[in-house]
Structure 1
Amino acid sequence: MKNRTALIAAPLLVLAYGVLRIVDGLDGVRGPGVAWTVGHLAFLGALTLFVPIFWEMRSMLGRSAVASTALVAGVVGIGCAAAQFTIDIIVGFLAADHDAMSPMFEQVQAVPGVSLAVYSAGPILFYVAQLAFAALLAGHRMVKVWVPVAVLAEIVLSAVNKDLIPVGAVLLFVSFLPLMGRRTPVARHVPAHA
């Protein structure tokens, strides 16, 4: 895979976010502050790196309709999650303390459609795309069956308890290892004419 740097950096940035999130909560509250801001910026960086990762996975799968649908869902999910993290960063900058953050979030989420698109259904598409690509790659025997299992575990662990995001990041990295060994995307070979 051409984007080996992205395959390494994305899980590392998710790991950084997970660790900083834990550090930020050591005093009993999360945000605002340096750990809040840097952690959210790290996850935004990871989201950005998933665009070329998803794009190349689609190419590996021969740009099929299912892979293209996964790509579109993934990019939409990335956009929604990025909007959420951007809002979090802005609120963190504007709020004097943790207590001042809640009313700001309530104002944002009161805007019609924002809660659904940015805080619930929208970001889920990002995770659905991760799992879909892993399953498609396994179905085409480009990765082993354990890869989608690792991706599913990463998603479930992070959803069940956000303090497990660092563990999920390690699983994400492990799930990317088989892709790092691929030198080129799978291409459709056309026989040469005599």
Structure 2
Amino acid sequence: MTSKLVGLRGPVLIAPLMLVLYGLLRLVDGLDGEHGPGLAWNLGHTLFFIGFALFGVVTLRLRQLVPATTLRRRLVANTAAAVGLFGVVCFLWVILGDLFPRLDSAAPLPEPLEMVGPLAFQLGWLTLLVMPAAATPRLLPAWSPLLVLVGFLLFAANLDLLPIGALLLMAGLAPVARGSGPPSATAPQGACLPEQNPSSR
């Protein structure tokens, strides 16, 4: 279990970094007053795609953090992870359509899913972040889901705020990258997580 968690720590911080770079390239692309095909557009959307593909991996990492101590908790966590992954797939579909207009013309994402997809991604993630933050013992600081929520709100307010919002996501996910995962369902209550060795981060 520990080796799997270590392997997922990189994407937790790399994914929002890809979003930061995409946001910056988007600003560069829009300097002429338009957003459209070109080097900045294509490179930015390629990084955007990589970032969201990694967000799929991060969703699995978030699911691993939730203590699966009861059937209800497992059901909620599994549902949140599935909803979050559904949102990731919707984003990837749209990004591919932006990169390959012919693909978008042949198989566009249905309009209702364009609206539902981002909400599903955000709702799934926030649920998976709040659950370990509200657990006993607490596995994430309370400010972790709060920073991620503020980042999402900045995305919704103005896409030009993508770099700032993505940095907030990175900050909010930093404890996830450092975490060692939830205690097992058979562990006695009050058991503490082992401290991380700074040299292994």
TM-score over 0.5 (shorter chain):
yes
Identify which of 31, 36, 40 aligns with 1:31.
36
Equivalent pair of 2:42/2:99 in contact (CA under 8 Å): yes
Q: How far does residue 66 in structure 1 lie from its aligned partner after superposition?
A: 0.8
Q: Specify the alignment match of 1:100 in structure 2.
A: none
Which residue in the other structure is 2:86 paired with? 76
- Mapped partners of 2:157, 2:110: distance in 1: 23
Task: Say which is worse superposed, 138-147 or 152-161, in terms of deviation.
Answer: 138-147
CA RMSD of aligned residues (A): 2.1
* 1:162 has 2:159 as partner: yes
Range with bigger deviation, 56-65 or 163-172: 56-65
Q: CA deviation at 1:185?
A: 4.2
* Structure 1 stretch displaced more, 121-130 or 78-87: 121-130
* Equivalent residue number for residue 128 of structure 2: 133
Does the Cα contact within 8 Å between 2:56 and 2:85 map onto a contact in 1? yes
- Dislocated runs of 4+, deviation >2 Å: 183-191
CA distance in 1, matches of 2:106, 2:111: 8
Alignment of 1:36-185 (within 5 A): 36-63=41-68, 64-91=74-101, 114-117=110-113, 119-140=114-135, 141-185=138-182
* Contiguous gaps of at least 5 residues in structure 1: 95-103
- C-alpha displacement of 1:59: 2.1
Of all paired residues, the percent bearing the same amino acid is: 32
- Distance of 2:122 and 2:30 partners within structure 1: 25
How many residues in Structure 1 have an aligned counterpart in Structure 2? 176
Q: Distance in 2 between matches of 1:175 and 1:7?
A: 10
Bigger mean CA offset, 19-28 vs 46-55: 46-55
Higher relative contact order (CA 8 A, sep 6+): 1
Structure 2's unaligned 5+ residue stretches are: 69-73, 189-201
Give the structure-2-normalised TM-score: 0.80
CA shift at 1:50, angstroms? Answer: 1.6
Distance 1:143 1:33 in 2: 41
